[in-house]
A and B are shown apart, each in its own frame.
Chain A
Amino acid sequence: MRELVQQPLTMWNLLLIVLAAIALLLVVLVFVTYAIYFERKVIGWMQLRPGPNRVGPLGLLQTVADVSKLLLKEDTRPKQADRILFALAPVLAYAPAFTVLAVMPFTESLQFADLDIGVLYYVGLSSITVLGVITAGWASNNKYALIGGLRSAAQMISYEVALVMSIVGIVILTGSMNLREIVEAQRDVWNIVPQFLAFLIFIIAAQAELNRSPFDLPEAESELVAGYHVEYSGFRFAMFMLAEYVYMFAMGTMVTVLFLGGWLPIHPALSFIPGIVWFVVKFSLYVFLQFWLRATMPRIRSDQLMSFAWKGLLPLAFLNILLTAGFVSIFA
């Protein structure tokens, strides 16, 4: 894939690239479909109930049915809503979720854009989603949506700072912002070992970035009914859901690439297993952690959430940068 992108652009290559992009899109959509299915299944098992098992064998078509229901629903819009912004918000939330996938190195060769500033690209684009959330909250002209949108924006921006700062340690260690080089640099030891503190910060901040339990305040159903997307239904709601799960896909990829050695095997002796298998295994572990947390954790309170970000995570992230920088300058 990488070679293909670097070749001169002919009609044939262009076609291949477009087809590959569509293939990736399909992979992501299948992931979303079955991530939702497995989320419901896993949480069901943890809660002593069977989970979806009616539509299709073992309930495998449940999400398909749900999505087709959403697509066929009437597209409702509150009378007082801001027409343009209301329609724009789901797109703003969902487009960046897909664009960040371009730089993700799934294996050595399977990567669409080998950017030297891959990390920066990810961080920059993913923060656009906040705009979608706050626009949705504002445009809906609903008080619950407004509060949910404001909370979301505050939360996502705060945790993004910690998230980015926790990556800086890795950038210092590797000396590169290229995601593929970051993976290659983990041949001897995965970043989770020297950067364990950063790993913890990243995992926690990622939960908040993704608006998932225990940081799922924006959609705190018990207080805000559904948060910023309370007025959305049908296809627009589906887009928000899609964005959420595509982000989960992207965040899982990021964790795997940054901390868990990407496609690298756990030991060189096991390198006969293809890289994509290793990638999928590590990635699935992260996704499973999401489900597990959702079944276990209560929701953190909004004010505590903010103070935790600024007074807890951020100083720790700075400390991590300081330690890493000191370590690198002394030993390297």
Chain B
Amino acid sequence: MLRNQPPTESVISPAPEIRTEEMLLNVGPQHPSTHGVFRLVVKIEGETIKEAVPVMGYLHRGTEKIAENLTYTQIIPYMDRLDYLAAMTNNYVLCHAVETMMGLAIPERADYLRIIAMELNRIASHLVWWGTYLLDIGAMSPFLYAFRDRESILDLLNELCGARMTFNYMRIGGVKWDAPPGWIEKVANFVQYMKKELPNYHKLVSGNEIFIHRLAGIGQYDADTALHYSLSGVMLRCTGIKWDLRRDESYSLYDRFEFEIPTAVEGDCLARYWLRLAEIEQSLRILEQAVQQFPADGEIMGKVPRVIRPPAGETYVRIESPRGEIGVYIASQGKDKPWRLKLRRPSFMNLQILPHLLVGANMANMVAILGSIDIVLGEVDA
């Protein structure tokens, strides 16, 4: 550190005021609050951040390149491992892209199963965010409450597809497994339980004076900045822009449900906190309706050719993942493997604003700002 460096010019020259020096602090890749192997090199003066350089790629596996040598069905498990907290939406976006290219029709029952799985996963993902974010802020208990409720969701999804996190559930043209008997009722029960539980979350945390003071006005940006940085999801909606692909570019059966798109205008960490909890509420609403409308019987796989060969050409589809707009671009040459697969990863895109938000911020706000972006490193590094 400073003491062990040879004295520099400024030490020898007589300085009228107290000499201060900027300090280069290496946060991560092994750090409790970087949510994975993310590294941040910050230059701090006192406790003010002068410069922040994110360093990523520690979890890079080359998914896009690997996908070029895999058939479309084989790519699905790789999608699970990108955003491992919301693997269902990743499953869906790939299947959706191929189905769009091939013009496949999906049976209604499969579509409902997909939506229920995706919305359950969205809630699970936001619960993890809620718990870990408060852990970053220094509150220990919410983490355990959130994980208790997430556990019920994982149990449900486990019953549906036999996996807790990396589901590999959806297939091109439908889903792999039908809902086991009594599963829909269990989902309905969970929705009722969660509706009662959510106000307790607010009671424990949202009104806490220390908590509000820590987040209000921190990591603030306006709608223009958000658009310039190509933010999406909650990161965009917290600035007042009402943009949710589930409604604005409706896919699957989302046009059949009534739900609101919560927005805020403050654009700070506190707004993002409220929005994520409000999104859980809306997801519960969608689930409630989906459970009611769930068809009593029907196919779970559409008519799909034995070997999936999308026609030559390009497609880009995008859907709303818990973190924002996730997109898949496929360039096909009519073979059973994609010629090129490109992913638009919302965590990666949202992370771009981090240096902008950190410069000038207090050291103590660093984790609050980073946490509010809600990154999943598997997706950032792909």
A16 at the interface (CB under 8 A from B): no
A160→B23 CA distance, assembly (Å): 29
Pick the residue among B1, B134, B205 that contacts A143 (CB under 8 A): B1
A47→B205 CA distance, assembly (Å): 14
Name B's A-contacting residues (CB within 8 A). Answer: 1, 3-4, 23, 25-26, 31-33, 47, 134-141, 144-145, 148, 204-205, 208, 210-211, 213-214, 362-367
Given known A-B contacts A146-B1, A302-B47, A220 and B138 have beta carbons under 8 A apart: yes
A144→B23 CA distance, assembly (Å): 11
A10 at the interface (CB under 8 A from B): no
Pick the most buried of B138, B211, B362: most chain A CB atoms within 10 A of its CB. B138
A232→B366 CA distance, assembly (Å): 25
Residues of chain A contacted by B47 (CB below 8 angstroms): 147, 302-303
Residues of chain B contacted by A297 (CB below 8 angstroms): 138-139, 208, 210
Residues of chain B contacted by A144 (CB below 8 angstroms): 25
A221→B363 CA distance, assembly (Å): 13
Given known A-B contacts A222-B138, A223-B363, A225-B32, A298 and B210 have beta carbons under 8 A apart: yes
A252→B135 CA distance, assembly (Å): 27
**A298, B148: Cβ atoms under 8 Å?**
no
Given known A-B contacts A143-B1, A146-B1, A301-B362, A222 and B144 have beta carbons under 8 A apart: no
Name A's B-contacting residues (CB within 8 A). Answer: 43, 46-49, 80, 141-144, 146-147, 213-214, 216-217, 220-223, 225, 294-304
**B362, A222: Cβ atoms under 8 Å?**
no
A261→B108 CA distance, assembly (Å): 72
Shortest A36–chain B CB gap in Å is: 16
**B138, A214: Cβ atoms under 8 Å?**
yes
**A299, B1: Cβ atoms under 8 Å?**
no
**A298, B205: Cβ atoms under 8 Å?**
yes
A220→B368 CA distance, assembly (Å): 13
Shortest B261–chain A CB gap in Å is: 28
A221→B31 CA distance, assembly (Å): 9
Pick the residue among B25, B138, B144, B367 that contacts A47 (CB under 8 A): B144
A146→B214 CA distance, assembly (Å): 23
A172→B136 CA distance, assembly (Å): 43
**A141, B1: Cβ atoms under 8 Å?**
yes
Residues of chain B contacted by A143 (CB below 8 angstroms): 1, 23, 25-26
A141→B31 CA distance, assembly (Å): 18
Residues of chain A contacted by B141 (CB below 8 angstroms): 43, 46-47, 295-296
Residues of chain A contacted by B210 (CB below 8 angstroms): 214, 297-300
Shortest B148–chain A CB gap in Å is: 6
**B211, A49: Cβ atoms under 8 Å?**
no
**B367, A43: Cβ atoms under 8 Å?**
no
Residues of chain A contacted by B204 (CB below 8 angstroms): 296
Can you name 9 A-B pairs with beta carbons within 8 Å? A141-B4, A143-B25, A221-B32, A294-B140, A297-B138, A297-B139, A298-B137, A299-B137, A304-B214
